[in-house]
Structure 1
Amino acid sequence: MKRPEISFEFFPPKNIEGTFRLWDTTQVLAPLKPRFVSVTYGAGGTTRDLTRDVVGTLHKHSGLRTAAHLTCVDATRDETLKIAQDFAAVGVTDIVALRGDPPKGSNGFQPHPDGFANSVELIEALAETGQFTIRVGAYPDKHPEAATAQADIDWLKRKIDAGATEALTQFFFEAETFFRFRDAAAKAGIDQYITPGILPIENWKGARRFAEGCGTFIPEWVAEAFEKAERDNRSDLLATAICTELCTDLIEGGVDKLHFYTLNRPELTRDVCFALGVTPEVKLENVA
C-alpha cells in the first residue's frame, strides 16, 4: 500500500490547559512530516484573534507549513482582508477559505453589511492578491443548507473557479461516500484535488452530535459498533480499526492525501498514521 501524504487540523486553545494540549499535539504529530497543518476559527469567528496568534506561533516555532482558516462571519471586507495580510506578513500564505458557521443561537448565516456575502466572494478577493494558496471545504454528504447534493457540487465548482486549488472534505464514515462525491465532482469538471477529511473518533457521543449537525450520514453498523464498544470499554480499539480501514479503502481507491481532524488529541491520529505506514523518519548513523 502506498504511503499517503497527510495533513492535520488543530483548533486554537481557549485557556492555559488547552495551550499545553495543543503544544503536546504538535510535538506528537510533527515527526510524521505533514504537508501542512491548519488552525480553525470558532463558530461566529469567536476565536479570530486566537487563530491569528496560534498560526503565527506554529509557523515561527514548529517548522510546520501552517494554514489559517479565514471566514466571512461578522467582519467587513477590509477587516477580513487585513487579517489575511497579517498572515502574509508573518510568512503564512496558506488559507482555508470558508463562509463560516454563524454564532450560536443565531438564525443562520447573515453577511455583514460591508462584508463578503459568501465564500466565493472571499476566495475571489484572496485570489486577486496573488499571495495565497487557497483551500476550501467540500461536503460528500449533503450540507444541511444545500437544496440537493448536486447543489453542493455546483457550489464547489464555483469555489474552484474562483481560485481555490484544493478542497478538504467534511468527515464521513464509508469510503464509497467519498468515491461517489469524487466521481460527481469530476463529472462537473472539477479538476483540482479533493482531499478526504478523516475524523478519528475519540468520543462517540461527541462525534455523533457533530455528524448530525453537519449532515454526515451515520451508518447503522457504525452506531451499533460504537455503542457495543463503549459497553465493553474498547472504544479506542474500535476507533483505530474503523479509521484505519476507512483510510486503507480510500488509498486502494486512488487517494494519496488524507486530512485528519485531530481535535487536539493526537494519539488516535498517530496510531492510524502508523498503521498506514506513516511513521517518523529516523536517520541512521553511518557506522564504519
Structure 2
Amino acid sequence: METHNFSIEFFPPKTDEGADKLRAVRQKLALLAPKYFSVTFGAGGTTQQGTLQTVLEIKSEGYEAAPHLSCVGGTRDSLRAILQQFQDAGIRRLVALRGDLPSGYGGAGEFRYANELVEFIRKETGDWFHIEVAAYPEMHPQARSPQDDLQAFARKIQAGANAAITQYFYNADAYFQFVDNARKLGLDVPIVAGIMPITNYTQLMRFSDMCGAEIPRWVRVKLASFGDDSASIKAFGLDVVTSLCERLLAGGAPGLHFYSMNQAVATTAIWQRLVK
C-alpha cells in the first residue's frame, strides 16, 4: 500500500468539542501514515476560515494537509488572498472544486467552473501547488451527459490539475470505465478512487441521493434488511467496501481517498484488512 496515494478527508469542526474530537480521530488515523489529510469547506465557502485553521493545525502536527478551495461565490481578490494565506503557511497541495451553491444564493461569483479556478491558481501561483480536482465515475448530478461530464473533467486537467479524486462509488466497473475513457482522451493524470465507508444506512442514502452516487440494489436491500442493527450494518459495510478497495487496487487504481466523516473506526478497519 505504501506505493499508493492514500489520503483521508475531514470536514472543519464547527464547535470546540468537535475540534477536540477531530484531534483524537486524527491521532488514530495518523498511525496509518496517509500521504496527506484533506479538509473540506461549507457551501459557498462558508467555513473557508475553519478550513484554514484545521489545515494549519494538521501541518503544525507534522502532517501534510490539503485545503479544499471552492470558487463558488468567490471573487478573484478573495481567492487571491486565500491562496496567499496558503502559500505563506507553506501549504503545497490543494483540492480545487467548483463547490455547491448555498440555498437561496443567486450568483456564482466570478468563476463558474472548476477549470476556471485551476487556471486562475496556476496563473497566480505557477507550480507552487499540487492541484487535485474532482472526477465523477457515475457522472456529476448536474451534467447533461457522460460525454459532457468527461469533457468538463478534461478541461480541468488541461487547465493544469495534477491529479483527480473521484466522488465515492460502490461499482468498480464505473471507475474503470471512467479511467479508460479519460485515457482515450490523453488524460494521463492519476485518478484516485474516493471511498466512503458504510456505517449508517439512512445517512448513506441521504448522501447518495444528494451527490448522485449509486448504491447497488443488492447492497441497499441487504442494508435495509438489518433495520436498526447497527453492528450488522457496519460488519456488512466493512466487507463490501474492503472488497471494493481490493478490486480497485488490483485493477490499477493509483490510490484511495477516504471520506472519513471525522471518524476513525471504519477507515482504520478497512485499512487494516487491506495491508494484511
The bucket for the TM-score relative to the shorter chain is: over 0.9
Within the candidate set 155, 159, 167, 1:158 is matched to 155
Structure 1 distance, partners of 2:257, 2:24, is: 19
Partners of 1:228 and 1:85 lie apart in 2 by: 51
Please give the alpha-carbon distance, in whole angstroms, between the structure 2 residues aligned to 1:144 and 1:75.
22
Shift, 1:232, TM fit: 4.1
Q: Which residue of 1 aligns with 2:113?
A: 118
- Quick check: 1:186 aligned with 2:183? yes
Deviations 1:231-279 (A, max 9, x none): 544111111111100001111111231100000011000000000007x
Distance 1:90 1:273 in 2: 30
Once the two structures are superposed, the pairs formed by residues 98-137 of structure 1 within 5 Å of their partners are 98-106=97-105, 110-112=107-109, 115-128=110-123, 129-130=125-126, 131-137=128-134
Identify which range, 159-168 or 200-209, moves more after superposition.
200-209
Cross-structure match for 1:241: 239
Q: Deviations over 1:168-224 (max 9, x none)?
A: 000001211111111111112211110010000221111111111111122111111
Q: Measure how far apart 1:156 and its partner are.
A: 0.8
Aligned residue type for 1:262: S
The one-letter amino acid paired with 1:58 is: I
Distance 1:80 1:220 in 2: 42
Q: Does residue 172 of structure 2 align to residue 171 of structure 1?
A: no
User: Residues 89-104 of structure 1: matches in 2 within 5 Å?
Assistant: 89-104=88-103
In the TM superposition, 1:1-288 aligns within 5 A as 4-61=4-61, 63-106=62-105, 110-112=107-109, 115-128=110-123, 129-130=125-126, 131-233=128-230, 234-277=232-275
Query: Over aligned residue pairs, what C-alpha RMSD do you find?
Result: 1.6
Name the aligned partner's letter for residue 272 of structure 1: I
Deviation digits for residues 36-65 of structure 1, max 9, x if unmatched?
11000111211111011111111112x111
- Maintained 8 Å contact 1:140/1:170: yes
- Alpha-carbon distance in 2 for matches of 1:218, 1:143: 15
The alpha-carbon distance between structure 1 residues 2 and 133, as it changes in their structure 2 partners (threshold 3 A), is: closer
**Distance between the aligned counterparts of 2:262 and 2:70, measured in 1?**
21
- Supply the distance in 1 between the matched residues of 2:39 and 2:116 (Cα, whole angstroms): 21
Please tell me whether the aligned partners of residues 5 and 192 of structure 2 are also in contact (alpha carbons under 8 angstroms).
no
Is the 1:140–1:177 contact (alpha carbons within 8 Å) kept by the matching residues of 2? yes
Instruction: Indicate if the aligned counterparts of 2:5 and 2:254 stay in contact, CA closer than 8 A.
Output: yes
Whole-angstrom distance in 1 between the partners of 2:226 and 2:193: 26
Does the CA-based 8 Å contact 1:169-1:196 persist in structure 2?
yes
Measured in 2, the distance between the counterparts of 1:3 and 1:83 equals: 32
Question: What fraction of aligned residue pairs are identical, expressed as a percent?
Answer: 41
Q: TM-score, normalised by structure 2?
A: 0.94
SS in 2 for 1:32: coil
- Give distance in 1, aligned partners of 2:83 and 2:49: 12
TM-aligned CA deviation for residue 106 of structure 1: 4.2
- SS of aligned partner of 2:193: strand
Q: Secondary structure at the match of 1:178?
A: helix
* 5+ long unaligned stretches in structure 1: 279-288
Corresponding letter in the other structure for 2:44: G
**For residues 81 and 211 of structure 1, what CA distance do their matches in structure 2 show?**
33
Aligned residue type for 2:271? C
d(CA) in 1 for partners of 2:2 and 2:81? 41
Amino acid at match of 2:101: P
Number of residue pairs matched by the alignment: 273
Q: What secondary structure does 1:64 align onto?
A: coil
In structure 1, distance between residues paired with 2:5 and 2:89: 26
Match of residue 286 from structure 1: none
User: Which amino acid in the other structure matches residue 198 of structure 1?
Assistant: I
Shift of 1:101: 0.7
